[in-house]
Structure 1
Amino acid sequence: MVTNYEFANIGKLADLTKMQYILPDSKKVLDGKIFLNELINLSGSEISLNSFVPGQFLPFNHKHKKNEELFIILSGIGEFEIDGNKISIKEGSVIKVNPDAARNICNTSKDINLQFIVIQTVKDSMNSTKPTQDGIGVSERIEW
């Protein structure tokens, strides 16, 4: 049977700090990070879930070739650096970063984790200026 979806359960967000991702090129380990494209075969975006312990930051500044990144801060406090400029971040902060900007993120708290989602998409790849126009209604109704 063919299905039109993929499903996974990563567990509690509090347990994200136990996750590790090893960068293929450098073999550097990123603690507190899971990439969903590898888990559920995403084909149009790259999404990672992240939980940084107090004092943790990415071990390198980085840019992208084509992808812009959207950072959505779920909880905690920290700083975000873009091209040498530091921005204070907290729950509810949203930052879009263009591909050619150097960036990094740091948990500046002494006692709480910084939890955030990162969504990567190819810059200027939206097929409409109004993404809601992509939706198509269907006649079947879901009954709860």
Structure 2
Amino acid sequence: MSQSYTQADAGPMSGWSGFRFQFGDNPPAPKRFLKGELGLTGMEVSLNCMPVGAGMPFLHTHQKNEEVYLFLTGEGEFQAGDQVLPITPGACFRCSPELPRAWRNTGPTPMEFVVIQAEAGGYSGQGQIADGEVVAEPPAWKRAAATP
């Protein structure tokens, strides 16, 4: 079987504060985009770290892409349109392209989160496991365990 995957190593979340992304005249942000590193073809994924006391300096929208925010650590607030919602570890938000959004860290520790963006309406509609297929060959660790 040919190699049909790519791999990147972002290191532990404690190091995500060292990522840097510059947007316009704004200060560099702790953000790392993975599209280029992984050769993604249907989405963009970014790894993010919002320092203590920091927040997005502006609301933003997108032209075509919806976004999903998956907050892993930290506490804060997420503005979705006119709503301000709490962020705690495990909080997940989906924003349509036209919805203004921003977030801030109000907690005592850095806030690490993942953002996934893809073109709205581009998903085929086969949700959950409907698109998956079982392969006849067992995983490598099962084969190794069966070998005496």
Match of residue 48, structure 1, among 46, 52, 61: 46
Report % sequence identity: 29
CA contact (8 A) 1:20 1:29 kept: no
2:92 aligned residue:
94
Aligned residues: 141
Which whole-Å deviations, capped at 9, do the CAs of 1:83-122 have from their partners, x for residues lacking one? 132111101111111110000010012x201111111111
**Alpha-carbon distance in structure 1 between the residues aligned to 2:28 and 2:35:** 16
2:4 aligned residue:
4
After the TM superposition, which segments of 4 or more aligned residues of structure 1 sit over 4 Å from their partners? none
C-alpha RMSD of the superposition: 1.7
Q: Which of the pair has more CA radius of gyration?
A: 2
TM-score, normalised via structure 1 length: 0.89
1:38 aligned residue:
36
More deviation, 47-56/130-139? 130-139
Which whole-Å deviations, capped at 9, do the CAs of 1:43-89 have from their partners, x for residues lacking one? 11111111111111123211011111111110110000111321111
Runs of 5+ consecutive residues of structure 1 not aligned to the other structure: none
**Alpha-carbon distance in structure 2 between the residues aligned to 1:82 and 1:41:** 30
- The answer to whether 1:120 aligns with 2:110 is no
- The answer to whether 1:70 aligns with 2:65 is no
